[in-house]
Amino acid sequence: MSRYVAFLRGVSPMNARMPELKLCFEAAGFSEVRTLLSSGNVVFNAQSSSLSSLEQRAEQAMRSELGHGFDTFVRPVCYLQDLIDSDPFAEFSLAPSAKRVVTFLRGPMPPDVKLPIESDGASIVKANATEVFSAYVPDPKKGPVFMRLLERSFGKDITTRTLDTVIKCAKA
């Protein structure tokens, strides 16, 4: 058995309860299921399989159990731990108050995207094959500038978490 994390797009306490998501993942045949925070983070065990297969199983179970699904981005815990250990933001001079953000892509990063990309205090600073690393200083007057920048650059088939959330999920 391998340990995985599923990051669900668009989940909030208003549209999904964590105990219901847990039941969906158990219905999909996953074990030792645990939800974290209230933003659609699910940690689970499963037989080793392709990530797309695990994503499809989870999405099908949510549609079956909840009547709707959420786009699901699965990563192995060991992969996330390696990503964290690589300290992806270390080479950048970021403000101490900057939020460090990891965006999960469905597939490989488009080859035509040139980094860094900056707008209104938000910066997409780095990417690997399936994750993008951004930073921004929160500003209540400007709202979620970094999300608009990410969606404009990579489309809406993404989901985003703070690095702190990714760390918590990898340790769960």
Q: If DSSP states are collapsed to H, E and C, what string results for 75-113? A: EEHHHHHHHHHCCCCCCCCCCCCCEEEEEEECCCCCCCC
Residue extents of the structural domains in the chain: 2-76, 81-171
pLDDT of residue 139: 78
- CATH among 3.30.70.1280, 3.40.50.150, 2.40.160.40, 3.40.710.10 for 2-76: 3.30.70.1280
pLDDT of residue 110: 82
Distance (Å, whole) CA 122 – CA 67: 36
pLDDT of residue 144: 73
pLDDT of residue 143: 65
Distance (Å, whole) CA 28 – CA 155: 28
Residues of the chain with pLDDT under 70: 143
Do the beta carbons of residue 35 and residue 18 sit within 8 Å?
yes
